[in-house]
Chain A
Amino acid sequence: MTKHMLFATAIAVGVATMATTGARADLLDDIMAAKKIRIATDLAIPPSGMMDGSMKPTGSDVETAQLLAKDWGLELEFIQTTGATRIPNVQTNKADIIISTLSVTPERAKVIDFSKPYAALQSVVGCLKAVQVKDWPDLKGKTIAVSRGTTQDTALTNMKDRELTLARFDDDATMVTAAVSGQADCMATSATIVNQVGVKNPARPFEPKVLITTFDLAIGIRKGEPRLVEKLNEWVSANLKNGKLNEIYKKFHGSELPAAMLQ
C-alpha cells in the first residue's frame, strides 16, 4: 500500500508469468518439514501491521500470523515487505504466505490464490465532523486525501463522473498529518484511520461519512498449492467460529467483523 504500486504490479505480472513455469515440491510439506512459516507482513500499515513502543511487531495482522503459527506449532518468521512487494514475495518463494491487509481483487486473483477471508476492511470517505457531507454529490469540489496506490485510490480514481479531487500521499501517516494540519478536510481510507485524526488533533475530529466499499482481506498464497490453501481455509473457518479472529480485529480496529463472516 505504498508508492511504486503501479510499477510493482507490472513487474509482478511479469514475474508471475515466469514463475508459473516449472514444478515445485508441495509448499505445505516444506513448511512442516522446516517447522517454520515465513509470513510477509508490512509493518508500516497501522493498525494491521506496526511497531509498539518497544519496537516489537504488533497489529491485527501480526496477531493473526502469531495465532496461525502457534496453532500449527511452527516458528514464525516475519518477512519485511512493503505493500507493493507483498505479492512478488510469495511468487518468488521469499515468503510462504501473505498476511498483510491483502484485499481480494480479481486482478490479484489472476496471479495468486486467496484463502477464505479472515477479516474485512471498511473503506470510507471521512471528513471533518463539521463538514456537511451525506453522499457522493456533497464531495464535489472538496479535496480528498488518499494513500497512493491503495484500493481506495483505485476506487476513487475510477469514479470519473463524480468529479472528485484527489490529493495523493505516500502512506497513511502522511495522509493523517495532512488531515491533522488542515491540508485536507476529507480523506479516503479505512474507518479506523479516520477516527485516528481526532486523537492526534482534538480540534479537528473526523468521522466516516460515505462508505466506499467493504473489502475482504484474505491470506495470499502463490498459485498451485491446493493443500496449503485448504489447510488455511480450515484454520480461518475454525478461528472465525471460535471468535479468536473477531477478538483480534476488535482489539485493533475497534469494531466487530461483519456478522456474515462469523458463521
Chain B
Amino acid sequence: MGGSLNANHLLFLGHGALWTIGLSLIAFAGGGIAAFIIALCRISPNRAVRIVTAGYVQLIQGTPLLVIMFLSYFGLSAIGFSISPLAAAGASLTVYVSAYLGEIWRGCIQAVPKPQWEAAEGLALTKAERMTKVILPQAIRIATPPTVGFMVQIIKNTSLASVVGFVELARAGQIINNSLFEPFLTYSVIAVIYFALCYPISRLSRRLERRSGLPRIKPVTA
C-alpha cells in the first residue's frame, strides 16, 4: 500500500489500454457486420423477418451489457461450453453493438427521403442497385455522426469486460488505485487516456462529414 505513481504503473495502464483498443476493434468489426445485416432485416419486405429481428433488438437493448458478458462467460461454462474470456467479451460486445448500431442504421436508411426511393424505382434499378447506388450512399452520410457517437460509447463500455477477468484500462486503473490509494491522480490519468482514444475518432467523424463529397440532402417537397 502507498508509494507513488511510477513508470511501471504507466506501463501497466498502457497494457490495459491495448486491451481496451483490441476489444473495441472486435466490437466495431463484428458488431458492424452484424448490425448491417440487422438493419437490412429490419426493413425487409418479409414481415416474419422484420418481427424476428425486432424481437432480437428489443431483447438485447433491454439487457445490460454486463449481464450479457456474465451469462456468456459463466453461464455458457455452466452448461458445458468452455469459452475463453476474449471470446466471451468479443461475442457479447458484438451482440450488443449489433442491436444498437443495427437500429441506428435502420433509422438512417429510412431517413433517406421517400422521393429518392421512388426515383430509384422509377429508373428501373434492381433492388440491389437501388440500395447500393442510391439509398446507402445517402444513408451513410446521415449515419456518420450517430455511429461515431456510439463507437465512442463502446470504447468506454469495454470497461465492463473486467467482469470476465479482463484487465483493460479501467480495471488496470482500479488495481493501481487500490495499491496507491491515489484516486484523483490515477483516475485523471485514465481519463486522459480514454480521451486520447476517443477524441481522434470524433475529429475523424467531423472530417468524414465534411469531405464525404456526397451532396447534402435537401428536403424535397412533393
For chain A, give the interface size range: 35 or more
Instruction: Closest A residue to B176 by CB, please name it.
Output: A51
User: B150 interface residue, CB < 8 Å from A?
Assistant: no
User: A99 interface residue, CB < 8 Å from B?
Assistant: no
B65 → chain A closest CB, angstroms: 12
A127 → chain B closest CB, angstroms: 19
Given the known A-B contacts A44-B178, A177-B183, are A53 and B78 also in contact in the complex, defined by CB atoms under 8 Å? no
Partner of A173, one of B78, B162, B181: B181
Asked if A52 and B179 make an inter-chain contact with CB atoms under 8 angstroms apart, the answer reads yes
User: B80 interface residue, CB < 8 Å from A?
Assistant: yes
A232 → chain B closest CB, angstroms: 23
Q: How many residues of B contact A (CB 8 A)?
A: 36
A84 → chain B closest CB, angstroms: 8
Given the known A-B contacts A11-B74, A53-B8, A94-B77, are A82 and B178 also in contact in the complex, defined by CB atoms under 8 Å? no
Asked if B165 and A53 make an inter-chain contact with CB atoms under 8 angstroms apart, the answer reads no
User: A93 interface residue, CB < 8 Å from B?
Assistant: yes
User: A174 interface residue, CB < 8 Å from B?
Assistant: yes
Asked if B78 and A81 make an inter-chain contact with CB atoms under 8 angstroms apart, the answer reads no
Asked if A173 and B183 make an inter-chain contact with CB atoms under 8 angstroms apart, the answer reads yes
Given the known A-B contacts A22-B80, A53-B8, A85-B163, are A171 and B178 also in contact in the complex, defined by CB atoms under 8 Å? yes
User: B115 interface residue, CB < 8 Å from A?
Assistant: no
Which residues of B sit under 8 angstroms from A200, Cβ to Cβ? 2, 181
Instruction: Closest A residue to B184 by CB, please name it.
Output: A177
A129 → chain B closest CB, angstroms: 19
**Which of B's residues lie within 8 Å of A, judged by CB?**
1-3, 6, 8-9, 11-12, 66-67, 70-71, 73-75, 77-80, 162-167, 171, 174-181, 183-184
User: Can you report 7 A-B residue pairs in the complex whose CB atoms are below 8 A from each other?
Assistant: A44-B179, A47-B1, A82-B163, A88-B70, A173-B178, A176-B181, A177-B181
